[in-house]
Chains A and B, each alone.
Chain A
Amino acid sequence: MPASVSASPFLELDGIFKAFQLPDGELKVLEDITLSVGEREFLSFVGHSGCGKSTLLRIVAGLETASLGDVRIEGRTRAEWASKRPMGFVFQSPALLPWKTLMENVRLPLDILGDGASSERQKKAEEVIELVRLSGFERQFPGQLSGGMKQRTSIARSLVYRPELLLMDEPFGALDDFTRRELTDELLRIWDETACTVLFVTHSLPEAVLLSDRVVVLDTKPGRIREIVPIDLPRPRGRDMRQTDAFLAHLRRLEALIFAGEDHG
């Protein structure tokens, strides 16, 4: 599955600017983000904290509006496209509904969208719960799950309605290192099984290299694209790849790019 930019891009960001109005003036967060994303591409964003990664994802999700510029998906406006089938979104915190069981949380999108008969929804939910390896915990409440399990649930509920676009904002950022690695490997497998385009924000460079087709390196204040690094490692990828020369070469390249601006910044 060579998933780089195809002839007509799936998602286009066209000259996105974003500034927040603050009491003491304007805070410029994003400047001229222009980018095409191919269908089924896995695209990561890395950059220093506060460079506008979350804001960019929120603009794509329609939670913020750009000050200037366009988001187009399959040639349509963002809102038009999303009204047909919502995109998936995984936040840094799991943001599950504490009063619903794991099963109810995963089913909720289907209930809200009114997708199919009740038994069908149940079956779809069971399938994704299996996909994220949480079978057996369906009746637990989020308050009874570990951090990693909550984040798996959050991923499951975002996949249950088979979105064609999945946005993930530091989904593993709040997890400990072991759980984080484990989930990164899982995500690789899950992404192989689902056919969706992913925009992924992370502050872990190894994670970005392992998962992505391309990595977008962002500058800080205001956030603009410094460079887009293609990761031409073969797929399917796995954890054993972390030690290969090609992997480490990509890692070093990204590190150099990220910390290049540091000296005079």
Chain B
Amino acid sequence: MGDVARGWVSSRLPAFVLFASVLVLWEGIVRLAEIPAYLLPAPGRIVLRIFTDWSSLSGNVWVTVQAATAGFLLGTSLAVFLAFVFLYSKTVENAVFPWAIIIKTIPIIAIAPLLTIWLGFGIAPKIAVAAIACFFPTLVNVTRGLRALDREIVDYLQILGSTPRQMLVHARVYNALPLLFAAMKITVGMAMIGAIVAEFTGANLGIGTIIVNAGYRQDATLLFAAIFLSSAATLALYYTVLALERVALFWPESRVDH
């Protein structure tokens, strides 16, 4: 156990050292070169701003995280549901899949304002954009996972006379799980970006609105503070998915590595 902990520390140490060095270097350069804060604020100043504006910043990040999470869950569930439908009906797949591709090709930035027009300035358009951003990778991965069972496993289950339902619950579902998580590890971040982009095009609350306003006012320090916080929030979401993956992928050799 001590070894494991030490292994963890020593494997993370280089990243940590690099991160700390960059911050120190950044702080030093800004001070020595006397770069004005409206161009590039020093890290210390940004951290200070996070503290002074904490209630506004944290409240708004929380709003965005809620929207991103809801959109992530919605988009992922829809994709998983559709993947199951595809498994049972090739006709539905042939009819629907081209639409999924079309949705994927539409730039998120372009539909965000449209969705705001339709769904108002509340949380709904953010959820929708986040869901759309999550949808496609999950659909593709889960569809493949449910289908692409080892040929010998299929043969074996067929010899036993398994029903399609038995094949699903004993094999296909597990086969799709690693691919589902591989997709989710990518799409949580996309959900967060989707929610922020939706906030750009008109919203009352959310870290995206702070970013837009700070941009208008050329408040670089506030921009950096918002960027820091939304990155931290995305990271927290990512690690939540990672923790769920640890639980769900309980058998050896099941992780598709990130």
Q: How many A-B residue pairs have CB under 8 A?
A: 60
Max chain B CB contacts within 10 Å: which of A61, A83, A98, A99? A99
- Chain A positions within 8 Å of B158 at CB level: 62-63
Enumerate chain A residues within 8 angstroms of B8, measured Cβ to Cβ. none
* Interface: A204 (CB within 8 A): no
Interface magnitude class on chain B:
20 to 34
A99 contact from B152, B155, B157, B254, Cβ within 8 A: B254
Identify the interface centre among A62, A82, A95: most chain B CB within 10 Å of its CB: A95
CB distance from B252 to the nearest CB of A (A): 3
Binary interface encoding of chain B residues 227-258 relative to chain A, with 1 for a CB under 8 A from any of its CBs, else 0: 00000000000000000000000111110000
Given A91-B152, A91-B155, A97-B160 contact (CB < 8 Å): no
Q: Is A10 an interface residue (CB 8 A)?
A: no
Determine whether the beta carbon of B161 is less than 8 Å from that of A97: no
| B62 CB to nearest chain A CB (Å) | 37
Q: Given that A91-B155, A93-B152, A112-B166 are known contacts, is A98 also in contact with B160, CB under 8 Å in the complex?
A: no
Cβ of B26 < 8 Å from any Cβ of A?
no
Most buried by A among B171, B174, B252: B252
B150 touches A143 (CB 8 A): no
What are 29 A-B contacts defined by CB distance under 8 Å?
A61-B159, A63-B155, A63-B158, A83-B161, A86-B160, A86-B161, A89-B155, A89-B156, A89-B159, A91-B152, A91-B155, A91-B156, A93-B152, A95-B152, A95-B153, A95-B156, A97-B170, A97-B171, A98-B254, A99-B250, A99-B251, A99-B254, A108-B160, A109-B160, A112-B160, A112-B162, A112-B170, A143-B251, A143-B253
> Which A residues fall within an 8 A CB radius of B?
58, 61-63, 82-83, 86-87, 89, 91, 93, 95, 97-100, 108-109, 111-113, 141, 143-144
| Interface residue ranges, B against A (CB under 8 Å) | 150, 152-153, 155-162, 166, 170-171, 174, 250-254
